[in-house]
A and B are shown apart, each in its own frame.
Chain A
Amino acid sequence: MVPQSWYLILAAALFGIGLFGVLTRRNAIAILLGVELMLNAVNVNLVSFWRYSDVLNMSGQVFSVIVFAVTAAEVSVGLALVISAYRRRNTVIANDMDMLKF
């Protein structure tokens, strides 16, 4: 059997890669891609904790289903905002979206 540490380290690495993408990419859509990687890392953690503790308690899977719903909501609103900003400012570079700055 695979020990749980392998899953947890995989999830931590996936989270780190996603965080790197969020912090360094210039394109707003690429930043959302990094957020997706981080949410997937969290889901791997939730499901592995379900499997490695009491399997009759479904809390881990329920939470990951709710994370799916929240992700769908986040992506649809985020991409709509990016498209709307692109229509007004003609850019998707996060640094150039400074309408709220003094």
Chain B
Amino acid sequence: MKLMTAQQIIFLIVAAFTLGSALMVVTTRNLVHAALWLVSTLFGVAVIYALLNANFIAVVQVVIYIGAIAILFIFAVMLTRRDMRDSGPQLNSNWWLGAIVAALVFTGLVFLLQGWSGFTGTAADLPSGFDPIGLLGEALVSPEAYVLPFEVASVLLLAALVGAVYVAFNKK
């Protein structure tokens, strides 16, 4: 058996860190701690993006997910409780059914993917002078590519934020 390359070792460490943090997100009792474990999960996923040569996506992951969404979660946790602990169990009574369903979905996905011919394929080297950020920018605004979904996403964000302000507004 040949030795693992450095990239494979880094991948395994990051993957173990990400999955361990994700398990803590769904099992820990204190919700503030769960939100902080979510931050470390998202950071692990950002490292995965960097390993995949998607540098822009990795930076966006840190800025949007960790910088905005995780902080929004922490604010919401702090706004919706009098003390920082919940009384009673954190999982509902048929949690074992949820565990079975999640395990079935995981094994089903792996089983389905194993039948796919490209499952163990390796990546080709990046072409020289490859500029993924420039290509991504062109793809987002080019009329032949994805300008319509891009604009629809911006309108969706605007509508969602106006709706969120309206729903959470205190009318008194």
Contact = CB atoms under 8 A, between A and B. Distances in A.
In terms of DSSP, what is the predominant structure of the interface of chain B? helix
Contact of A79 (B18, B51, B73, B124): B73
Interface in B46-104: 48-49, 51-54, 56-57, 60-61, 64-65, 68-69, 72-73, 76-77, 79-81, 86, 88-92, 94-95, 97-99, 101-103
B106 A68 contact: no
Contacts of A61: 54, 56-57, 132, 136, 139
Interface of B: 5, 7-8, 11, 15, 18-19, 22-23, 25-26, 31, 34-35, 38, 41-42, 45, 48-49, 51-54, 56-57, 60-61, 64-65, 68-69, 72-73, 76-77, 79-81, 86, 88-92, 94-95, 97-99, 101-103, 105-106, 109-110, 113, 118-124, 126-127, 130, 132, 135-136, 139-140, 145-146, 149-150, 153-154, 156-157, 159-161, 163-165, 167-168, 170
